[in-house]
Amino acid sequence: MKTLLAMTLLVMNSAAFAASPAPAQIDTDAIIKRLEESGALDKAIDRAIERYISRQQEAQRKQQAQVGAENSARLEKMRRITSADHVRGNPNAPVKIVEYSDLECPFCKSFHATMQKVVNEYGKNGTVAWVYRHFPLDAIHSKARTEATAAECAGALGGNNAFWAYVDRFYAVTPSNNQTNLQTVLPQIAREIGLDERKFNSCLASGKYDKHIQEDLDNANATGGNGTPWSIVVAKNGKKYPLSGAQPYEALKQLIELALQNK
C-alpha cells in the first residue's frame, strides 16, 4: 500500500521534482524513504484511511435509511387498512385487530374461534374490526401458502364475504399440520360456499396472489412476528398492543378495552 501511495504522490507532486535531472530509472525505494522522512507518506495514508472510512459510513447511513423507510412502510401498513386487506366488522372501527395467521396452524384454528367471538360481541356496535393477513410458516407447514392462495381466490371470485366464508369453513373441516388433501378439499370448500369451481381452480393455479401473500408475511416479520398466530391490537390514536399466540378471549378483551380508552 505504501508503494502505491508513494507512486501516487510522485505523480501528483511531479512539479517538485522537475528541477532535478531525470533519472535513468525511478528508484521507488529512495522515493518512499524520502516521503517517509518528510512525513508526507504518513499524512497521505491517514487521508486515504479517512476518505475510506467516510465513504463506508456514508454507504452505511444510506443503507440504514433505506431499511428504516422500508420498515416504516411495513409498520404503517399494519396500522392502515388497504384495499388488499380482508376485514370483518366495521372498517372504520376505532380498534383494529390485525391477525397474521397460518391456515395449517392448530393454534390459529383455536384463535380463529376466539376472534369470531370478539367480532360477535364488539361488531354489534362497530367498535372492533378484524383484519386478516397471511403468515404461512413454510418450514413446518408446506401446504399453508397454497391454502392462503385458495382463500385469496375465494375473495377474488366472491368478494370479502366469500373470503371469510372460505377461511371459516377451512378451519372448521381441516385437521391442521399438513394433513389436508389439497386437491380435493380446496375445491370442495369452494363449491360449498357457492363459487365457480372451474374459475377457482384456474385462479389457484395462476400464482397471481404469490406477491400479496409474501408481502403479508414480510409485514408480519417486520412487526415482530416469529410464530402464529401473531396479532396486534391497534387503537384509534395508533397505539399498538402486540399479542403472541392463541391467547384466551379474556386476555384479548382486556387489550381491546385498553385500546378503546386511547382515542
Taking the mean position of all CA atoms in its chain, how far away is CA 93? 25
Confidence of residue 11 (pLDDT cuts 50, 70, 90): very low
Amino acid at 218: D
Q: How many CA atoms lie within 13 A of 151 on its CB side?
A: 28
Average pLDDT over residues 46-73: 75
What is the SS3 string spanning the chain? CHHHHHHHHHHHCHHHHCCCCCCCCCCHHHHHHHHHHHCHHHHHHHHHHHHHHHHHHHHHHHHHHHHHHHHHHHHHHHHCCCCCCEEEECCCCCEEEEEEECCCCHHHHHHHHHHHHHHHHHHHHCCEEEEEEECCCCCCCCCHHHHHHHHHHHHHHHHHHHHHHHHHHHHHHCCCCCCCCHHHHHHHHHHHCCCCHHHHHHHHHHCCCHHHHHHHHHHHHHCCCCCCCEEEEECCCCCEEEEECCCCHHHHHHHHHHHHCCC
How confident is the model at residue 15, as a pLDDT? 44
User: Judging by DSSP bridges, how do beta strands 95-101 and 240-244 pair with one another?
Assistant: unpaired
pLDDT band at 34 (very low <50, low <70, confident <90, very high): confident
Where in the chain are the domains?
A: 2-78, 82-260
**Residue 191 has which C-alpha cell?**
363449491
Q: Give the pLDDT band (50/70/90) at residue 205.
A: very high
Length in residues, the chain: 263
User: Grid cell 529512495 — which residue?
Assistant: 30
Which position has the higher pLDDT, 136 or 262? 136
Q: What is the pLDDT of residue 52?
A: 82
Out of 3.40.30.10, 3.40.50.280, 3.40.720.10, 3.40.140.10, which CATH number does the structure's domain 82-260 have? 3.40.30.10
14: Cβ contacts below 8 Å, ≥ 6 apart: none
Q: Distance between CA 248 and CA 241 in Å, rounded?
A: 15
On the question of pLDDT at 225 being above 80, the answer is yes
User: Nearest to residue 239, comparing CAs of 123, 86, 96, 129?
Assistant: 96
Q: Of the candidates 99, 104, 182, which has an alpha carbon nearest to the alpha carbon of residue 140?
A: 104
What's the farthest any 2 CA atoms get from each other in the chain? Answer: 98
pTM of this prediction?
0.71
183: its cell numbers? 386437491
pLDDT tens-place string over residues 164-187: 999 999 999 999 999 999 999 999
Residue type, 143: K
